[in-house]
Amino acid sequence: MAHLNVVLHEPEIPANTGNIGRTCVATGTRLHLIEPLGFRLDEKSLKRAGMDYWNRLDVSTYIDYQDFLEKNPGAKIYYATTKAPRSYTDVSYEEDCYIMFGKESAGIPEDILYANQETAIRIPMIGGIRSLNLGNSAAIILYEALRQHGFDHMQAEGRLRNYQWK
C-alpha cells in the first residue's frame, strides 16, 4: 500500500492548510507542516476548512526545514514550484515519497530549489498566471501520485442511496 506525504513549507493561509488536511485524510496521506506558520493550529478557519476531519489527520510539525530533514532522513522529496523545468507528470512517485509545497506568497525558497533541482516539478499553466491555489496544486499532484499507485488503498466506486448502478 502506497503511503504518501504532503509537506507545506511555511504555509500562511489557514483555509488552504485546512483544505489540504482534508484531502490528506481522504487519501490516507500524511501532512507535514514546516514552521513558521502564518496561523495557529487551533484557529477556527483552519478547522472549518478541514471540517470534522481534522481530528483524523496524521500531521507532524517541524521548527524549520532543517528539522524536517533531520527527522525524515533519506526522504525522497519532490519540490512543487512554478519555477521548475519539468512537469509533475514526468515523475514516477515512489511509495512513501514526500511532495513539498511552498508558502502562498513566495513558494519554496530558491536555495532549496537549486539544491534539489533534479526533483523540482511544476504544474503546466498558460503564461502570465503566477500560480494556482495551494490546495488545488496539492490535490493535482497528490492524485497523480495516487493514480500511479493504482489508488491501491482507496474506495474505487461510490453508491447511490436509492438506486443500484447497472
Binding-site residue numbers for S-adenosyl-L-methionine are 102, 123, 131
C-alpha torsion angle, residues 98, 104, 106, 110 (rounded to 10):
0
Bridge partners of 35, per DSSP, are none
**Residue numbers belonging to the annotated binding site:** 102, 123, 131
What number of CA atoms fall less than 13 Å from residue 18's CA on the CB side? 19
Between CA 50 and CA 36 the distance in angstroms is 20
Please give the C-alpha separations between residue 98 and each of 6, 31, 145, in angstroms, as whole numbers: 6, 9, 10
